[in-house]
């Protein structure tokens, strides 16, 4: 896994998501009801555009996946993002990267109790 830490905007309320799912043990036996409840949490806490249609398979306590797009990252992060996802990689990594757009990246909010 190749990862980069992004700086959330002050109004991005990731702590509310963590607080709601803390000590839930979600993910031990993930079921559809938990995924639906998580999706509802994303909509209620963060609003329109936040979803887990592609990323829900990684949902578990302290690891909160959100479907990624450049527009979404610009809404929640203070970081300057490159115009192209390719800019995150140097030429040596090009053959190792199976995707080249923001929508194929994985975005996670990590809780304090994530290992």
**The pair of three-digit structure tokens given for residue 25, joined into one six-digit string:** 């043990």
Q: In the prediction, which pLDDT does 85 show?
A: 73
Mean pLDDT of 87-103: 63
Q: Dihedrals φ, ψ of 18, to 5°?
A: -60, -45
pLDDT at 71 over 80: yes
Q: What is the pLDDT of residues 2-56, one digit of tens each?
A: 778 889 999 999 999 999 999 899 988 889 999 999 999 999 999 989 999 999 9
pLDDT-derived band at 97, boundaries 50, 70, 90:
low
The pLDDT of residue 98 is above 70: no
pTM of the model: 0.83
In 1-115, which ranges are continuous DSSP H helix? 14-21, 32-46, 70-76
Q: Which of 18, 44, 20 is nearest to 109 (CA)?
A: 18
């Amino acid at each position: 896994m190749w990862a980069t830490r992004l700086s959330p905007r002050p109004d991005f309320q990731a702590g509310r998501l963590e607080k709601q799912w803390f000590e839930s043990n979600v993910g031990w036996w993930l079921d559809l009801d938990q995924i639906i409840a998580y999706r509802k949490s994303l909509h209620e806490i963060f609003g329109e555009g936040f979803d887990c249609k592609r990323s829900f398979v990684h949902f578990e306590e302290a690891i909160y996946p959100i479907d990624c797009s450049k527009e979404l990252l610009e809404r929640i992060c203070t970081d300057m993002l490159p115009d192209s996802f390719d800019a995150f990689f140097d030429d040596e990594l090009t053959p190792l990267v199976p995707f080249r757009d923001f929508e194929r990246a994985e975005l996670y909010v990590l809780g304090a109790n994530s290992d």
